[in-house]
Amino acid sequence: MITQKITIKNKLGLHARPASNFVKMAQSFKSSIEILKGEKRLNAKSMIGILASGAKCGMEIELAINGEDEQEAMKQLTEFIDAGLGE
């Protein structure tokens, strides 16, 4: 399992449109992918899980990825977040 903290840079946060794109990307990997926010562990392959994170601009979240393609998943997902969630 690998984890990495990352800051949401999109000025609107992780709202519906980028959340949908994030979920699609997460679902393309075999690994288990979770967002850790405080005491919450949210399934990053679930739209409800992503929206429940309430991730806003400037907020730090932690990605936890476990599985055979965890390195590639972490690379692509963190790049997507760093790039402003595709917006």
Positions marked active-site: 15
CA gap 66, 64 in Å, rounded = 7
CB 71 within 8 A of CB 2: yes
Cβ-based neighbour number of residue 52 at 10 Å: 14
